[in-house]
Structure 1
């Protein structure tokens, strides 16, 4: 028996950790091979040995000896195939070690590392996986960045957007578009196109294009023409693998003519709001001189101050905060003697409603009476601004039909016919864009209001009341 054989034979008597971290690389190599064999033999994910083995891998995958590191990855793959989501407790340290030590290795090492990442996603450690990818793409060595982008592409492509959150990937892409390495840029372009297949071209373009160089935009625009077909997940997370298959599909397909799609071919509804981070607008507003501007004697200065708020609030998603004083000020400005100032204030409210959504509910109820009262003005620009803002407040979830019953009842008794008719038009819009269950809860109150308005002396009010009744009848 050779010295090496004697050493390996004696080493097998040692505890797992001593073998896996032994000073002799051959012992470590042999230990990883044995560990992989044991993991392959485990059929119960609750086997207590899996808890024992889990902490070993954060060190073994970082082995300085390349062949041993390969065998450690083999053992980890076998371990993850045997384990269940409980193994996620070890995910962060293992993923960080792989990012630090494996992605610049030999092609086979990189490939096995990617297999490990995919198995972590399968075991529902997707957030840890994406945290690791955020670190990987910051590596100064381009050779380590490309595999990270490619495995995100693979994860999204195989598991789909319901498992791999597009928002996290969208946040990573901008810094990759300007990367010095052309392979990184090419991979990031491929990942962007894959995102388009899952969440649609428009959300991706809206969020990313403003952060791209013109050259990259042109390249992507040319490629986007070819993004058709239906994106379907081809792989399930472990906990779903034994369940009955459910049809699922999302796509960015523009169909012409009558649709004959099955339920499985309907594109996924993607809310762009959920894909972006909230933006603080209160801090820059304070610095803009808003509070002095809205008190200015000159109407142009008041309008300019509110226009700055309108601009800041045009961001897709606004960070919640205390907007109470701003809304008190806007309430006064709605009735400003200068129509341009009033229109600007109304538009600002609409933007805030779109950006804050349900976080603007209380302030929306506070502003609603004065907005409805303002419908009496016959200026088209004012009417248009009011209509857009009122619709935005409902569509964004700031107000629902139950919230506005009493305000509507009051407005339909307003002495100005225009207030009555335009309020009814708005309520008809709210009914048409509301969930049926919501309408059914309050339809009795609204029907009584509309029936009363059918006797109004003004034809426009009667017509609007009839349209509102028709909207309920369609449900």
Structure 2
């Protein structure tokens, strides 16, 4: 020290002219002071002081000491945690220590503090420690320091509130250094991978993704893609509405390729649990371990109390939108328009408004009533858009849509009668959305009503809807609801169409999957094996979300703990009643046989070597395929030692003293009335007993394998038999259908033959009539030509006297009022006789023959006019306005006869006959065409 004072007392030297000697001396003294400070022991100093020391080695030692102190603390209320809870800013320096070696230990100390310090320490230190963690810890060059930084964040999620931790991390996504952003994105990926989206809300992260994809650094974009893929594993397509529209098409395409790789992966599960979840699992594990055994006699597994993965949709992630205020005032006016185009445009505008993941609750009564009215619209395009609007409205409102269900459900189900598939698909999607907002109990009444609808399309689509409801519901139907569904499905099994019967079997199979085979048994009584097999197939293939939990079997009385091992036996998975120790053996068990004392064989020869020998009460399995309830595994510990006194054995294989080893391996002999005491030693050593045990186990395994093989063969044969029965039934039904078709075809063929025969007879009759008319017409013409005008007055008078009215009719062209009556009279006479009269008047002035009147009764006016012209008297040569001349009777009869006959010539007669013949042929062809024999010819 004297040298130091002398040096200080020396004259000062200017800083500009310091000598090298002075600088060297100063360095030496400074190093001495540093070494002196380092030699000071800070191990007894408080941990906060060591955390804030300026020497990094001291800080490093302090961090290491803190880790040891935290690990040996009994609980979080230990005094070692108090300084750090009162001054949480200490962790800001520890997590962001300037020295990388000290920082590594500081992050390890923070992890130990979070692990053992409890919730209070995590909540107080969160705001101080997270920023240095993502700024310096996640970007550290030391792998151990980086791993400790990630572990510290995961511990904050585990101990603290996860959403608060995410809020502290989000500012790092806007950091100016890209490496900090990339490291934070990687940390978020690990957080969601370990804890899942049920615990950590992904909304805030999803909103920040578009900005990440717009970053200039490729590493940031790559980490953003990895985070997006991890979120897709949990959310699937429900995450897309949050940010998908803000991405570029190229980015969307790249993400779709990455999504394809994880789309087929199983649903992810939470790998790391919070402290609260760990406490629940520990409680459940303790309860399951100490709870009574289940039906199979084994304690429940902890996995039984774990929750199923939760499905998240876009509704849970999106913000509600007020759609009611966006509906225009002209909507109700346009929806009631008489033009279908205006109605469809109004619904299209409504669809664009309600097409959002989440809709804010409001008054939509008028809108739903308008949509229900649109379900009855005649235009299917309007119906389809209305169904789409109902779907989006129900998905956007969720539970709030339940009050509109009664207004819209029945009209939609009634419209299922539409045969166009696009309409039924839209209606089905809308009904599924309504069901998702309600429950099975709310919709069961409408479903049961539509299952008995008269329209087959309505019944078919309702069956599909009911099956979808049973698969997606999370609530097990009540007993009365189960009965309604089962009765409806059983009734559908008797429908005439295969589609209906298959739908009924699918309903019953899905219900069986929910409530179990045992509960479904009463509903399947009376069904044949083929239908039961079909229902079982649908049950095995069904995937449901609601399952009836089996009720635990409560024992009638509990046995003492000491007797539980000996009294409780499980055979074939069925719990048996406890067996008392003093219970006598069954009657069928033989009494123990005594070995001959003189013929004691060596141990090797006395041991059985064949599994077929009866040893130790080993019995064949019963007919039911299960082992005998009296079978027991005998270990070497169960055989008494030679030095121990003989005691009554509780074994059920003996009636007195001794146990399994008291049986003789020789041929049984006569049993004495009261057997003497059995010697304890049967000559079997440990090796022989082990060999016996191996043989017994081998035989049991062989029998189990044989039973299993036989059971599988029986199941296969039953399935084949059921398939053959089903094929046989189908073939029989097809044969019967073919026979029915054949009988119908034969009857139709007989009817057609009768019609053809009738038409042939009518045709032949018409041909004979035409030929006869032609002959009669030719004969009359020739007779008229031969006679000329030489008819006598007497003949004319006879003709007139025979039928004066008829003569007057034909002379005057049938213009009198009585002409129609006279013609009907002639036709009636012709129809009554069926043939022409034998005698005809010789004069041309006579009336038509009955046959001619019959043929001309239904003819057209041209034919009637032609026939009238045939016998009409000649007109006067005067002007056309005059009436035709009347024939003169009395003295002018010859003149009248001459005038009547003068207008007839041979050429006109042939012409008239040809006209009549052609008209008759045309009528015959028309009649054949009406009967379907030939096509009409024109």
TM range (shorter): 0.7 to 0.9
Aligned residue in 1 for 2:171? 135
Residues 337, 146 of structure 1: alpha-carbon distance in 2 compared, 3 angstrom cutoff? same
Asked whether 1:366 is paired with 2:407, we answer: yes
* Distance in 1, Cα, partners of 2:226 & 2:468: 41
**Secondary structure of the structure 2 residue equivalent to 1:403:** helix
Query: Retained in 2: the 8 A contact 1:103–1:147?
Result: no
| Residues 368-377 or 131-140, more deviating | 368-377
Asked whether 1:39 is paired with 2:70, we answer: yes
Query: Retained in 1: the 8 A contact 2:131–2:168?
Result: no
Aligned residue in 2 for 1:77? 111
What displacement does 1:436 show?
A: 7.7
Matches within 5 A, 1:66-215: 66-67=98-99, 70=103, 73-90=107-124, 92-94=126-128, 97-98=131-132, 102=136, 107=141, 112-123=148-159, 125-159=161-195, 164=200, 169-196=205-232, 198-199=233-234, 209-215=244-250
Query: Retained in 1: the 8 A contact 2:69–2:80?
Result: no
Aligned residue in 2 for 1:329? 370
What displacement does 1:233 show?
A: 6.5
TM-score after normalising by structure 1: 0.73
Q: In the comparison of the two structures, how many residue pairs are matched?
A: 448
- Any idea what the Cα deviations from partners look like across 1:82-139, whole Å, max 9, x if unmatched? 2234544325423554368646975457665433212212325422222222222122
- Any idea what the Cα deviations from partners look like across 1:192-247, whole Å, max 9, x if unmatched? 33445x4386566786654432333444455556658777766555567797899x
* Distance in 2, Cα, partners of 1:385 & 1:223: 31
Task: Name the structure where helix makes up a greater proportion of residues.
Answer: 1
* Distance in 1, Cα, partners of 2:164 & 2:54: 30
Query: Retained in 1: the 8 A contact 2:135–2:180?
Result: no
What displacement does 1:282 show?
A: 0.8
Asked whether 1:406 is paired with 2:440, we answer: no
Residues 305, 189 of structure 1: alpha-carbon distance in 2 compared, 3 angstrom cutoff? same
Aligned residue in 2 for 1:353? 394
Unmatched 5+ stretches in structure 2:
1-31, 286-302, 513-938
* Distance in 1, Cα, partners of 2:237 & 2:374: 35
- Any idea what the Cα deviations from partners look like across 1:389-442, whole Å, max 9, x if unmatched? 223322x2x233311233345546767665556445533443454458226550
Which of 247, 251, 259 in structure 2 is aligned with 1:216? 251
* Distance in 2, Cα, partners of 1:272 & 1:187: 24
Which of 321, 325, 341 in structure 1 is aligned with 2:382? 341
* Distance in 1, Cα, partners of 2:258 & 2:423: 43
* Distance in 1, Cα, partners of 2:505 & 2:33: 94
What displacement does 1:365 show?
A: 2.9
Query: Retained in 2: the 8 A contact 1:281–1:313?
Result: no
* Distance in 1, Cα, partners of 2:127 & 2:421: 62
* Distance in 1, Cα, partners of 2:429 & 2:259: 32
* Distance in 2, Cα, partners of 1:432 & 1:116: 43
Structure number with greater Rg is 2
Residues 343, 162 of structure 1: alpha-carbon distance in 2 compared, 3 angstrom cutoff? closer
**Secondary structure of the structure 2 residue equivalent to 1:438:** coil
Asked whether 1:445 is paired with 2:479, we answer: no
CA RMSD of aligned residues (A): 4.8
What displacement does 1:185 show?
A: 0.8
Query: Retained in 2: the 8 A contact 1:280–1:318?
Result: yes
What displacement does 1:275 show?
A: 6.3
What displacement does 1:174 show?
A: 2.8
**Secondary structure of the structure 2 residue equivalent to 1:365:** helix
Residues 430, 155 of structure 1: alpha-carbon distance in 2 compared, 3 angstrom cutoff? closer
Residues 75, 426 of structure 1: alpha-carbon distance in 2 compared, 3 angstrom cutoff? closer
Residues 99, 35 of structure 1: alpha-carbon distance in 2 compared, 3 angstrom cutoff? closer
Unmatched 5+ stretches in structure 1:
247-262
| Residues 147-156 or 186-195, more deviating | 186-195
* Distance in 2, Cα, partners of 1:270 & 1:58: 40
**Secondary structure of the structure 2 residue equivalent to 1:57:** coil
Aligned residue in 2 for 1:249? none
What displacement does 1:149 show?
A: 0.7
Query: Retained in 2: the 8 A contact 1:401–1:439?
Result: no
TM-score after normalising by structure 2: 0.40
Query: Retained in 1: the 8 A contact 2:428–2:465?
Result: yes
- Any idea what the Cα deviations from partners look like across 1:256-312, whole Å, max 9, x if unmatched? xxxxxxx9xxx9674444663244151673369645644556432332222133234
Query: Retained in 1: the 8 A contact 2:198–2:310?
Result: no
**Secondary structure of the structure 1 residue equivalent to 2:181:** helix
| Residues 120-129 or 235-244, more deviating | 235-244
Aligned residue in 2 for 1:258? none
